[in-house]
A and B are shown apart, each in its own frame.
Chain A
Amino acid sequence: GDSVTQMEGPVTLSEEAFLTINCTYTATGYPSLFWYVQYPGEGLQLLLKATKADDKGSNKGFEATYRKETTSFHLEKGSVQVSDSAVYFCALSGESNDYKLSFGAGTTVTVRA
């Protein structure tokens, strides 16, 4: 079945450091890919998404490119802030599932001033 594997955390960074969180997936066909973020004490919210190969999703300085050849959707940000401390989830929606999202385990990121 469809699945998502993302790098284990926790990840601790200093402010202005470069962040990358690896995400790879297993799915048949052409899934859609998402990154959700969960700030402390809050529910998840959509950060960005990409619906076809080579698409780049971007939001709040974060970017991720849908790479079909490597089945990956790595999340990157060039200069993190303390306010980026959160749990980040990679997710996919397979071609055969209209509504269902399959989530990765989540990566906890802590940014220190």
Chain B
Amino acid sequence: DVKVTQSSRYLVKRTGEKVFLECVQDMDHENMFWYRQDPGLGLRLIYFSYDVKMKEKGDIPEGYSVSREKKERFSLILESASTNQTSMYLCASSQFGSALETQYFGPGTRLLVL
């Protein structure tokens, strides 16, 4: 079975802290994605990676960075967390670049920034 795991289901951090969200997939997928999910806004793409060490900005990259040192792992970094980054963060992976390829999602990390 396809599996995307995220390091935490819930996180509470303070304003200004550096936050790492980790995502691991076991499907040998080339592509990995980070989204945030907010009520009434659906999912918005933060960053996308199509290969190790490669990344592209999504719709809302400000305040975030990413790291992909190994194919199976994609990290989202909040350099200095702010309260407006309180959200649900979803990681996904897919086999190839086309959006016709199914994206497989992790269960999400609910982040609260105080």
Contact = CB atoms under 8 A, between A and B. Distances in A.
Do they bind each other?
yes
A17 interface: no
B99 A101 contact: yes
A35 to B, nearest CB: 12
Interface stretch (B12-20, B38-46, B61-69, B71-79): B38-46
A103 B4 CA distance: 20
A46 interface: yes
Contacts of B44: 103
Contact of B99 (A42, A44, A45, A99): A99
Interface string B47-73: 010100000001000000000000000
A98 B42 contact: no
B34 interface: no
Interface centre among A41, A43, A98, A106 (most CB of B within 10 A): A43
Instruction: Bin chain B's interface residue count.
Output: 20 to 34
Nearest to B105: A43
Interface string B1-41: 00010000000000000000000000000010000000011
Contacts of A42: 107
Instruction: Bin chain A's interface residue count.
Output: 20 to 34
A89 B43 contact: yes
A97 interface: yes
Interface of B: 4, 31, 40-45, 48, 50, 58, 90, 92, 94, 97-100, 102-108
Interface of A: 4, 32, 41-46, 49, 51, 89, 93, 97-101, 103-106
